[in-house]
Amino acid sequence: MAAGIGAAGAAGTTGTQTVDRQTIAQNFDAFLLLLTTQLQNQNPLEPLDTNQFTQQLVQFASVEQQIKSNETLNALLASSRSSIVSTAAGFVGMQITADGATSELKNSRAEWRLTLPRAASAAITIRDLEGNVVANETKSFNAGAQSYVWNGRTSTGQSAPPGRYTITVTGRDATGQTIGIKTEISGRVDSVDMTGEEPILSLGGVSVPLSNVKTIAGASE
């Protein structure tokens, strides 16, 4: 379906460009015919103002050049789009890591990757898709990149239902200063959405813009 829409759009663009070029060509031919007729029948004592004709010739040339530039730009955009589609399709089945705070809870396990500039004590809050807080925890972390795994247990000790959950992490170092903690998610790409301006990868229902991808590994078994 997407390919059909793309082909129809390309055909429509090509048709418009053809009409534009035919129109400018017809107008230019009419202008030259008019110019030739006027020059043949001009009064020798009151010759025509050639400056006006020169300006009009320049305008016709500028419009034609603009049409050609637009055609070249459209061709480049189509080529770029094709390259992006091919690249995005290659992500299906690959294991990736990307910027993000929303992960999938499956089989009582949801995982995030945290990166700290220095050791800190972090307050962790996990929310469901509606923004409700389902779990809280305070934990110490070393500096650097590391995994944080949530077992799906809520603050009341209940098992949270499978689905997508978002993590918020606020850290303080040994001096009490607040530090920024970067969150990333990882998973296997099972599909790619190409309907928007940027491809969106799906990791078990979690949407990840292609530009957020940080690392790529081979397909997981």
Domain boundaries along the sequence of the chain:
2-89, 94-219
Task: Using the predicted structure, report yes or no on whether residue 47 has a pLDDT greater than 70.
Answer: no
Task: Using the predicted structure, report yes or no on whether residue 65 has a pLDDT greater than 90.
Answer: no
Q: Strand runs (DSSP E) across the chain, as ranges?
A: 94-99, 102-105, 110-116, 120-127, 133-141, 144-150, 163-172, 178-179, 182-188, 191-193, 200-203, 206-209, 213-219
Please state whether the predicted TM-score (pTM) of the whole model is above 0.85: no
Residue (of 98, 106, 93) closest to 191 by Cα position: 93
Rounded percentage of the chain residues whose pLDDT exceeds 70: 67
The pLDDT tens digits of the residues spanning 168-208 come to: 999 999 999 999 999 999 888 988 888 887 888 988 888 99
Yes or no: say if 122 and 112 are a contact pair by the CB < 8 Å rule. Answer: no
**Taking residues 157-167, what's their average pLDDT?**
94
Yes or no: say if 17 and 72 are a contact pair by the CB < 8 Å rule. Answer: no
Predicted pLDDT of residue 2: 39
Q: How far is CA 11 from the centre of its chain?
A: 24
Task: Using the predicted structure, report yes or no on whether residue 92 has a pLDDT greater than 90.
Answer: no
Predicted pLDDT of residue 14: 54
Task: Using the predicted structure, report yes or no on whether residue 29 has a pLDDT greater than 50.
Answer: yes
Structural tokens at position 102: 């929303």
- For β-strands 144-150 and 110-116, DSSP reports them as antiparallel
**Taking residues 71-77, what's their average pLDDT?**
70
- The SS3 assignment for 39 reads helix
Structural tokens at position 17: 């460009």
Q: How far apart are CA 164 and CA 102, in angstroms?
A: 6
Q: How confident is the model at residue 10 (pLDDT cuts 50, 70, 90)?
A: very low
In CATH, the number for domain 94-219 is: 2.60.40.4070
**Got the DSSP string for 184-198?**
EEEEE--EEE-SSSS
Predicted pLDDT of residue 146: 93
Task: Using the predicted structure, report yes or no on whether residue 140 has a pLDDT greater than 80.
Answer: yes
Cβ contacts of residue 203 below 8 Å, gap of 6+? 96, 98, 104, 185, 186, 187, 188, 189, 190
**Helix, strand, coil percentages for the chain (3-state, nearest 5):** 35, 35, 25
The CA distances from residue 21 to 60, 83, 105, 154, in Å, are 11, 28, 57, 66
Predicted pLDDT of residue 129: 92
